[in-house]
Structure 1
Amino acid sequence: MNNFLPAIKKVIAAYNQTSLILRILIGLIIGALIGLFIPSMKWMAEFGTLFVGALRSIAPILVFVIVSSALCQNSARLDKRFGRVIFLYMLTTFGAAVLAVITSKMFPQTLVLGESASAEVIPQGLGEVFHTLLVNIVSNPITSLAEGNYIGILMWAVLFGFAMKKIGSDSSKEFMSNVADAISDIVRWIINLAPFGIMGLVFENVSNNGLSIFTDYGKLLLLLVGTMLFMAFIVSPLIISFFLKCNPYPLIFRCLKESGIPAFFTRSSAANIPVNMELCKKLGLDKNFYSVSIPLGATINMDGAAITITIMTLAACNTLGISVSFPAAIFLSVMSALGACGASGVAGGSLLLIPMACSLFGIDNAIAMQVVAIGFIIGVVQDSLETCLNSAGDVEFTATAEYTQWRKEGKPLPEFLQKRK
């Protein structure tokens, strides 16, 4: 026993000292190999269940306490940076939907519709989208936390933060700061165990589906991935370059490396908030600003979700022989962008917003839910890349909003951005 404990401590120390990305890659490979060659080890899937469950449980609390704490301690007023970052979030989400329309027209896809799926929450049209958003905003705060309704969580967090700020005592500010730090530490501990969770998730997908996602739905998956990569490496950099008047790629690559890669494997923008907050700190941003804009971005900055909703809907139209006119495609982009912003408050994420978009073209729910079922099959890749794009964008546009303000005030940009195009 005396030799056993030191050996365990050495193993834990070696584990913690190894790069998280490397650990995740090792877990991914092990999960895939066991899923292919020993699919009978069903108990391994429980690692993924525990990991996803822990993230889903802590993420709503994390958003609430971080936003409340930030507003409670924020001594500055909301300035032009907030308007600018919200504009960037909405502009790029709409732009992503338009890009998805263009790529879908260039490379039309069809689906092999199989068994139907089922869902509890299926928005039917634009009016219901607005209704759902309004209802979610004023939803019971406890219910919002329990169900992961991030729109409602944000609203109550803002009110609670301002109320605590009005009290104005140092003890209340210190309490909120300590709670936010504690919850952030819990999330870091969970993410530190991501390699085991990823191993379980990959095992479950590979043992159940094999490599069929790359054969049966390879072209559809390639279109989704290609569109998201084009958004990440072409469209977003152009927008950032327009605002900053400099080469945007140092910022893009840094955000993808330090925020996008962890988000790719955790598949949760909300759970990735502590990672993004730490990156914003490294980028020299104002904590009073990014402590609000990052949780906000995890809710409304949904480029990847807009792409998924649009492409899957147009693939369903192609399968059913429905011709989509240009005005209808633009309206689809608007609906996809608005729906994507509320994706976090809908059970099942962006995929369950596909029936809402399909309803534009008279596609009934039974058929639309078959499209959702296909989405779940390719979700192991699609959802990971979608989250990567969304989470990295939160930091990119937060930094763009603040650095733009720096330029207007005559303050130099960080050294890594000062090289001209």
Structure 2
Amino acid sequence: MKKLIKQWNQVSLVLRIIIGLAVGIFLALAIPEQAKFVIIFGSLFVGALKSIAPILVFFLIMSAISKHKSGHQTNMKSIIVLYLLGTFLAGFTAVVVSFIFPVTLTLAMARGGLTPPGGVVEVLKALLMNVVDNPVKALFNANYIGILSWALVLGAALKNAPDTTKTMITNFSDAVTQIVKWVIDFAPLGIMGLVFEAISTTGMKVLASYGHLLAVLIGCMLFVALVVNPIIVYIYIRKNPFPLVLMCLRESGITAFFTRSSAANIPVNMRLCEKLGLDKDTYSVSIPLGSTINMAGAAVTISVLTLAAVTTLGIKVDLPTAFILSVLSAVCACGASGVAGGSLLLIPLACSLFGIPNDIAMKVVGVGFIVGVLQDSCETALNSSTDVLFTAAAEFAKMRKEGKEIIINK
């Protein structure tokens, strides 16, 4: 048995995930009732990732900052610029595609109990208040903005601490990293459970009636992932971007697609950054930050569904207003993680730009929840894989300027 497990672990993780995916699909289609027990594997996998991620981020950042040497460049400015640029261009792309392929909706009833934010100021205020959240509460609620801020402050305060203290923090960080590796090795079973649950409980009949909307949403996200992002990366690294782009989509996007949680995918992204040989001081901060503000998929969702509502109501949109929507969707997307309900609940805010009443906008949100199975999966895959992509692009750009060879581990 030990020999069999050892041979299984020697197989590529991506191949193991594909095998788990295939088994999950087969079980859901062939024996959905008898194989219901596999759902627990998906719940355990996502639960374990979500539980360990806040602790991982906290200790990694605190350790990295406490040992940070003055003068060591971390590329954070370049990464933040890439995050914001990528999110804006994603929203702009969605606006252009929505003009070319307009979507008309059959508005469904909105879900009860949902309260959208009142304006952009409210979204940004919630984002800023997360910075000063109680540190214990931030860890408990997986508030990564709060975790980042407290880890940075504690790390800075520990810079003058004895080396023994820093070593202890590093040991904790290494231990949590090892736990993460064990959890990620569980990914094939977890993916099997998640895909089984999605197919056996949701079905595809409901989604078929929203085929045009899904085609525009997913098409925009694919265009951003395979055209817009590679162009941005090429401008930075002056080298064929597709090996890096495809690697990020394969090793980060697949797990993010099925977990549908950027927070749960933080450990996966950090492991990929380590595999790429990136600077730990940089990615230990940029990856959790990216899970909060790098929201290209959310910008696409907000723009497409807002313009679908506009088309349905017969409202004419001029070019300046369309550009403002691109900016607004990018700003809202950056604050999406701090709002209950994620990107969908920011649609009424964007709809208000066109004078669409809140009750109609909430019906659009209802449509968003109907297609949410695929929309949210693709959105998370784009968001999370781009966190690694832009972190790597910034570091490789620095290497190019220094005359160093850029090697992308396959």
TM-score normalised by L of structure 1: 0.87
| Structure 2 CA distance for aligned equivalents of residues 180 and 356 of structure 1 | 40
What pairs up with 1:53-72 in 2 under 5 angstroms?
53-72=47-66
* Pair 1:80–1:278, CA change in 2 (3 A): closer
- Kept in 1, the 8 Å contact 2:111–2:366? The answer is yes
Asked if the contact 1:48–1:198 (Cα under 8 Å) also holds between the matched residues in 2, the reply is yes
Does the aligned pair in 2 maintain the 1:28–1:195 contact within 8 Å?
Answer: yes
1:14-413 map, 5 Å: 14-40=7-33, 43-77=37-71, 79=73, 81-120=75-114, 122-167=116-161, 169-409=162-402, 411-413=403-405
Task: Please tell me whether the aligned partners of residues 253 and 381 of structure 2 are also in contact (alpha carbons under 8 angstroms).
Answer: yes
**How much does 1:116 deviate?**
2.0
- Per the TM alignment, residue 136 of structure 1 is displaced from its structure 2 partner at its CA by 1.7
**The residue matched to 1:108 in structure 2 has which SS?**
coil
Letter in 1 for 2:51: S
Please tell me whether the aligned partners of residues 191 and 255 of structure 2 are also in contact (alpha carbons under 8 angstroms).
Answer: no
Whether the aligned pair in 2 keeps the contact of 1:133 and 1:342 (CA below 8 Å) is yes
Which AA in structure 2 matches 1:25?
I
Q: Partner amino acid for 2:372? A: G
Distance 1:378 1:21 in 2: 27
CA distance in 2, matches of 1:366, 1:34: 41
Give the aligned residue type for 1:91.
Answer: L
Distance 1:368 1:10, change over 3 A: farther
Report the Cα offset of residue 351 of structure 1.
2.6
Q: How far 1:393 moved relative to its partner?
A: 1.8
The residue type equivalent to 2:21 in the other structure is L
Offset at 1:415? 4.7
Cα contact 1:280–1:290 (8 A) shared by 2: yes
Aligned length: 408
Post-superposition shift, 1:364?
A: 4.1
Q: Which residue of 1 aligns with 2:406?
A: 414
CA separation of 1:60 and 1:344: change in aligned 2, threshold 3 A: farther
**Distance between the aligned counterparts of 1:357 and 1:166, measured in 2?**
47
Q: What secondary structure is seen at the aligned counterpart in 1 of 2:75?
A: helix
Q: Write out per-residue CA displacement over residues 274-314 of structure 1, whole angstroms, 9 at most, x where no aligned residue.
A: 33333333434332223222222222211112112211222
Q: Distance in 2 between matches of 1:30 and 1:372?
A: 33
Q: Deviations over 1:55-74 (max 9, x none)?
A: 33332232222222221222
Q: Hey, what's the Cα distance between the residues in 1 that align with 2:106 and 2:64?
A: 48
Superposition RMSD in Å: 2.6
> C-alpha offsets along residues 115-165 of structure 1, whole Å, 9 cap, x if unaligned?
321455522211211221222222222222222322222212211221222
Structure-1 separation of matches of 2:364 and 2:102: 15
TM-score by length of structure 2 reads 0.89
Compared CA separation, residues 313 and 60, structure 1 to 2 (3 A) = farther
Distance 1:185 1:364 in 2: 51
Cα-to-partner distance string for 1:61-106 (whole Å, 9 max, x where unaligned): 3222222222122214464722111111111111111111011111
Change (3 A) 1:53 1:352: farther
